[in-house]
């Protein structure tokens, strides 16, 4: 094995090395609740370092998959290795090295952030002096300020979410799992949280995050996997998914079903259509011929249309079964 260069040791003892295996390896995982299959033959590798986004519509199986990764739900079939350890065989060894923020905050509301952190730190058996130092660091890192000493129930949703994230960081985890960390937060708090997640990533922490905000996933995640009905439907870097699975540009317009059929016939496969209600979006690498075809359809009167770069939301919508008409 080669010795890592000196600057990578200085930057962080968790700097990823080329020979490091995945932090999480999921193989053939199935989770059934009675007759219902929530996760269906899932294979997933989460690389060490970086931020990995698990995306999918409501009920896709994201939370269930995360619960199996940190060992509170057992798979019906298949294996999950975290840090190379079989989570079923040694969940404690895995949990000591990871942090989790659940979809719902789990905080003792009558107590302050500092008191919540102290209780959770004791659970992790952190010695007193180290725990006090760690609490101080986290209060500072998540900018809790004087709010850290007020009862949690007196605080806004955004502050409670930041405290929940602080809790998941108390043991300085190598892997941080965040289930919808920014749902319901205002834009400024979301931005502040993204920046904290980037700081953690820069220090070498691996982050797995779920979100319904595709702009957030596109900006924050190095890789994303999109799930639908318990299965992984696609995976890759956001930009790569947009350009290889879809196209560079999108043209959006309102039209009737009959107009959409005529337009799609005129384009004869030159653009991939997605129709939701009266809104038609046409994806292609070059929108000029698409716009020209729309203008020909309109004759003299030109309707309003939007030409924009395709984004991860477009990949999400086309991959997870919003009704595709025509060429899909
Ligand atoms: N304990 C359970 N018992 C029965 N069904 C369950 C249980 N937990 C989850 N499910 C079902 O499994 C499916 C996947 O749920 P899951 O919570 O993993 O979805 P999700 O992708 O996290 O959705 P959301 O985006 O709404 O959080 C859902 O249909 C859900 O109702
Ligand atoms: Mg969920």
> How do residues 45-91 score in pLDDT, each as one tens digit?
999 999 999 999 999 999 999 999 999 999 999 999 999 999 999 99
Query: Is 58 near ligand 1, meaning CB less than 6 Å away?
Result: yes
Domains of the chain listed by start with CATH number: 22-239 (3.40.50.300), 242-319 (3.30.70.120)
Task: Give the span between the Cα atoms of 168 and 157, in whole angstroms.
Answer: 17
Ligand positioned closest to the Cα atom of 228: 1
Average pLDDT for runs of 10 along the chain of length 328: 34 44 94 97 95 96 97 96 94 92 90 96 93 95 94 94 94 95 88 91 95 95 96 96 94 94 90 92 95 88 92 95 46
Task: Give the span between the Cα atoms of 289 and 312, in whole angstroms.
Answer: 23
Atom of ligand 1 at shortest distance to CA of 230? 14
CA distance from start to end of the chain: 47
Query: Is 183 near ligand 1, meaning CB less than 6 Å away?
Result: no
Query: Is 287 near ligand 1, meaning CB less than 6 Å away?
Result: no
Residue nearest to atom 16 of ligand 1 (CA): 61
Task: Give the span between the Cα atoms of 233 and 31, in whole angstroms.
Answer: 17
Beta bridge partners of 225: 54, 235
Query: Is 37 near ligand 1, meaning CB less than 6 Å away?
Result: no
Q: Do residues 141 and 196 touch, judged by C-beta distance below 8 A? A: yes
Atom of ligand 1 at shortest distance to CA of 73? 1
Residue nearest to atom 8 of ligand 1 (CA): 64
Task: Give the span between the Cα atoms of 120 and 131, in whole angstroms.
Answer: 10
């Amino acid at each position: 094995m080669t010795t890592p260069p000196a600057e990578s040791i200085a930057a962080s003892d968790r700097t990823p090395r080329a020979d490091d295996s995945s932090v999480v390896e999921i193989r053939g995982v199935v989770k059934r609740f009675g007759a219902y299959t929530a996760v269906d033959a899932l294979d997933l590798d989460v690389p060490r370092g970086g931020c990995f986004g698990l995306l999918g519509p409501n009920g896709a199986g994201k939370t269930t998959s995360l619960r199996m990764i940190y060992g509170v739900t057992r798979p019906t079939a298949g294996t999950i290795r975290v840090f190379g350890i079989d989570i079923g065989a040694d969940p404690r060894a895995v949990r000591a090295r990871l942090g989790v923020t659940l979809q719902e905050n789990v905080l003792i509301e009558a107590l302050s952030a500092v008191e919540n952190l102290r209780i959770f730190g004791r659970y992790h058996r952190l010695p007193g002096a180290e725990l006090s130092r760690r609490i101080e660091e986290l209060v500072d890192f998540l900018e809790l300020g004087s709010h850290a000493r007020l009862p949690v129930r007196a605080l806004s949703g955004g502050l409670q979410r930041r405290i929940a994230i602080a809790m998941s960081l108390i043991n300085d985890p190598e892997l941080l799992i965040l289930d919808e960390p920014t749902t319901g937060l205002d834009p400024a708090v979301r931005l502040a949280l993204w920046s904290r997640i980037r700081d953690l990533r820069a220090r070498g922490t691996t982050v797995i995050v779920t979100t319904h905000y595709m702009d957030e996933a596109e900006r924050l995640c190095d890789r994303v996997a999109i799930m639908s009905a318990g299965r992984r439907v696609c995976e890759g870097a956001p930009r790569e998914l947009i350009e290889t699975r879809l196209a560079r540009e999108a043209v959006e317009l309102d039209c009737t079903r009959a107009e959409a059929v005529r337009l799609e016939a005129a384009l004869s496969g030159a653009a991939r259509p997605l129709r939701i209600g009266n809104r038609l979006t046409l994806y292609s690498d070059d929108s000029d011929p698409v716009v020209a075809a729309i203008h020909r359809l309109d004759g003299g009167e030109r309707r309003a249309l939007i030409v924009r770069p395709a984004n991860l939301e477009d990949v999400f919508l086309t991959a997870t079964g919003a009704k595709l008409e025509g060429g899909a």
